[in-house]
Amino acid sequence: MNSLMPTPPAEAFSLLDPFGFGRAVFDYWRDAVERSVLYMDVMRERGNQYLEHIEKTKPNVLGFDAEVVMDGRTLPRPVNYELMRILPPAGIEVDPKSRPFVVVDPRAGHGPGIGGFKPDSEIGVALRAGHPCYFIGFLPYPEPGQTVEDVVEAEIAFLRCVIEHHPDSCEKPMVVGNCQAGWQIMMAASLEPDVFGPILIAGAPLSYWAGERGKAPMRYTGGMTGGSWMTTLASDLGDGLFDGALLVQNFERLNPANTWWDKQYRLYANVDTEAERYLNFERWWGGHVVLGGEEIQYIVDNLFVGNRLSTAQLVTSDGRRIDLRNVRSPVVVFCSQGDDITPPPQALGWVRDLYGGVDDIIASGQTIVYCVHDSTGHLGIFVSGSVSRKEHAEFTANIDYIDVLPPGLYETTVTSAKERDDAELIERDYLLEFKARSIEGLDRDVLHHRVDDDTRFATVARVSEINLGLYRLFVQPWIRATITPEAARLMRRMHPIRLGYKLLSDRNPLSVPLPVLADWVRRDRHPVDDSNVLRSLEKACSGQISRALDTWREIRDQSIEHTFLTVYGQPLLQAMVGLGGDAHVHRRQPGSEPEHRRFIERRQDELRQRVAEGGIHEAMMRSVIHVLGGAPTTDERNFKRLRASRAELEPGSSLSDFKHLVREQFFILKLDREAALAAIPELLAGERPEAIRSSLEHIEHVLAASGELSEHVRKRYEHIRELFGEALERVEPAASRQALVALHDEVAAEATAEVAARDEVKKMLEDAETKVDPNPAKAGPAKPASRSKKAAVPKATVSKESGDAGDEKPVAKRAPRKPRKR
């Protein structure tokens, strides 16, 4: 019975034993003091690292060797950006003919290099896949007069340079834009779509009014500050420069538990193992840069407050409209539910803003693929090693498939091969699957759009214009007259975030004993584990502090949201800024405009005329797209087999030709499926039966790549077989008639040859009969004429049926003709 009683934990005995409890207290006290010394020494190293980093001319945290290919400061409109070629590490070889990868770094307050921060970053994944890689970074200070348009034009020039360096590559560069770089790349692609290959935007906000209530409070910031006048004030205080530390401070305020406690306690609790990771991250997080006042004002006014990018309202200084519908490259949107800086609605809301439905996307020839991660944070989208090894690796491996994916809206998921029944058919550890989605489904599952919220944000935009005008009229002249360049630099240096680094460095005399004490502690370290009751109590208290800060954050965010909705939802305020009329359009939707509708109608008319144009390749592609369109998902396995089949059937065809074929046949099927399928026998009308049967075998081979077909897909495939069978029935009788005609012509030719031979024999016999002997006296008795005739004619040339003098031994008849195969 005693054996059934629970055994108390060891901590209980230490509490009952006063000497044991005293030892636990002493061990914990000694460990806590040692950890405190080591923690302060790590903070000292962080300060030294920060000072060393900001004093560099071109600071970045890029984890790969690189060489500058093009300097943006030499362009006609200079910018502080540069194009660098990544030098592959030892043991990694790249193929110059492969598609180049270009990673554009975000310039949102931090220093450059985050896209190639780790070996498992976006650059590392592309290098291991054999692609030549380039990196677009920036310098700490902008060029005088630099604008957002200048940066966009510079990025276009950089891409042209990359294309020139790879003349043997038949594919355009894939461009990766992280965070702020994402919307810059989309702007550039809408202006010059011909220089872009597939585009991956990770954690990039494009629709700034979008969001789900109760989440992402950062979208309310503009309304709570009264608009963009505070941005202008910050730039004026910086003598025309905007301090990036202000943006970093805004990011840190989003999660006070992590900023003020979790991040630092994690280092303190695991200082023996966490120091290196912490210092590596702080090297980038603390590398604050400066933005031009004109740049940041353009961003806040037109994007964050005005939301003009996702509604095609931006116009360049030379009159070009920035319309994201002009992008012709496939766009992959990668976002996360755990991202509080760019939540999924802000990353994907532009799709709903620009298009009235999937048919509009298809008519525009655009392919949009989105992937929503479950939990990773904003930085984890393009920094986390686990994300790079999974999502980014699959995007890179399947980029050719994404490039030929038919136009439309797709959701992609990454599944582990071990979790699937058809694991033997999967080449890698993960499989990237694509599922066609509708805008209505996207709105229901991700966007959660509300029309009344649009009216509130439109009110904020009007209030912002009013407040900005008042500031520029009454306040700005006084600020600019007071601030000098020296005063602006002093204010930047005194920013609390910067002081936190500088005060804990070797430049502070109080930190002189820290390295000596830290070395002494490391030589005789006495750590304790969780079995110590006070260490367990410490972790419990840490958890309570973190949860308390999270609770305060939730209360703060709810209060901000409630205040925003109440203030800017007032009908009186909306009427005062000119938004009270029901007929006023608060949010422009380009997809519903008449000229866009006319464009769609013209495009459809063009496709209707091409339903029956083409041959066997068009018939094959149309059939495969139709059959796979009945499956709930598709993946790269079908694409690989289909492309291999096309290469076998049509050697020398390029990926661009293949992409054009796929997209055109998809358009035709989407426009009129019944007419497109009915035209398949006509497309096969001029082909040989063997070619038709071979094409059908290739289709079967492609469909078998994904394993067993579903019932719906099998029915579609049976329909295709019937259509190919109909084509064979049309072709084979014609082939038989052609064979019979050829056989008849051959027999007639042989008969004509026999008649000619008979005529020649007759002539020879007649010549022999009329021939006279020149010396008849010497000749013997006259012989019968028939014998002389016979002797004069070779036996092989005389036939019994001819009736000539060949009675004695007829020539053998020709062997009977073998029947010909039809």
**Per-residue pLDDT at 201 exceeds 70:** yes
**Mean pLDDT on 445-474:** 94
**Per-residue pLDDT at 588 exceeds 70:** no
Question: Of the segments 143-157, 410-424, 744-758, which one has the largest average pLDDT value?
Answer: 143-157
**Per-residue pLDDT at 314 exceeds 90:** yes
DSSP H or E stretch at residue 675? helix 673-678
State the sign of the Cα–Cα–Cα–Cα dihedral 58, 63, 69, 71: negative
**Per-residue pLDDT at 55 exceeds 80:** yes
Structure confidence at residue 783 (pLDDT): 43
Q: What whole-number distance in Å separates Cα of residue 10 and Cα of residue 202?
A: 49
Measured in residues, the chain has a length of: 822
Structure confidence at residue 700 (pLDDT): 82
**Per-residue pLDDT at 364 exceeds 90:** no
Closest CA to 665 of 406, 435, 409, 437: 406
Q: What whole-number distance in Å separates Cα of residue 408 and Cα of residue 425?
A: 27
Q: What is the pLDDT of residues 618-659, one digit of tens each?
A: 888 888 888 877 666 776 666 666 666 655 556 666 667 777
Residue 10's pLDDT band, with cuts at 50, 70 and 90, is low
**Per-residue pLDDT at 15 exceeds 60:** no
**Per-residue pLDDT at 62 exceeds 60:** yes
**Mean pLDDT on 100-116:** 85
Structure confidence at residue 416 (pLDDT): 75
Higher pLDDT, 60 or 292: 292
Q: What whole-number distance in Å separates Cα of residue 654 and Cα of residue 662?
A: 13
**Per-residue pLDDT at 692 exceeds 80:** yes
From residue 182, how far is each of 241, 373, 422, 520 by CA, in Å? 23, 17, 36, 48
Residue 813's pLDDT band, with cuts at 50, 70 and 90, is very low
Q: What whole-number distance in Å separates Cα of residue 692 and Cα of residue 69?
A: 51
Query: Which are the contacts of 747, defined by CB distance < 8 A and separation ≥ 6?
Result: none
Residue 706's pLDDT band, with cuts at 50, 70 and 90, is low
Structure confidence at residue 755 (pLDDT): 61
Give SS3 for 716: helix
Q: What is the pLDDT of residues 475-493, one digit of tens each?
A: 999 999 999 999 999 999 9
**Per-residue pLDDT at 455 exceeds 80:** yes
What is the identity of the amino acid at 809?
A: K
**Mean pLDDT on 398-402:** 84
**Per-residue pLDDT at 205 exceeds 60:** yes
Ranking 366-375, 378-387, 576-585, 664-673 by mean pLDDT, the lowest is 576-585
- CA 520, distance to chain mean position in Å, is 51
Do 151 and 418 form a contact (C-beta atoms < 8 A)?
A: no
Do 611 and 675 form a contact (C-beta atoms < 8 A)?
A: yes
Higher pLDDT, 755 or 21: 21
Structure confidence at residue 391 (pLDDT): 83
Q: What whole-number distance in Å separates Cα of residue 788 and Cα of residue 783?
A: 7
Intra-chain end-to-end CA distance of the chain, in Å: 94
Structure confidence at residue 108 (pLDDT): 86
**Per-residue pLDDT at 380 exceeds 90:** no
Residue 262's pLDDT band, with cuts at 50, 70 and 90, is very high
DSSP secondary structure, 347-411, as one string: HHHHHHHH-SSHHHHHHTT-EEEEEEESS--TTHHHH-HHHIIIIIHHHHHTHHHHHHSPSEEEE
**Mean pLDDT on 536-552:** 96
Ranking 56-60, 585-589, 627-631 by mean pLDDT, the lowest is 585-589
Residue 362's pLDDT band, with cuts at 50, 70 and 90, is confident
Structure confidence at residue 789 (pLDDT): 38
Buried b / exposed e across 565-590, counting CB within 10 Å, b at 16+?
A: beebeeeebbeebebeeeeeebbbeb
Ranking 52-56, 88-92, 229-233 by mean pLDDT, the lowest is 52-56
Residue 787's pLDDT band, with cuts at 50, 70 and 90, is very low
503 C-beta neighbours (distance < 10 Å), count: 13
**Per-residue pLDDT at 781 exceeds 50:** no
Structure confidence at residue 688 (pLDDT): 84
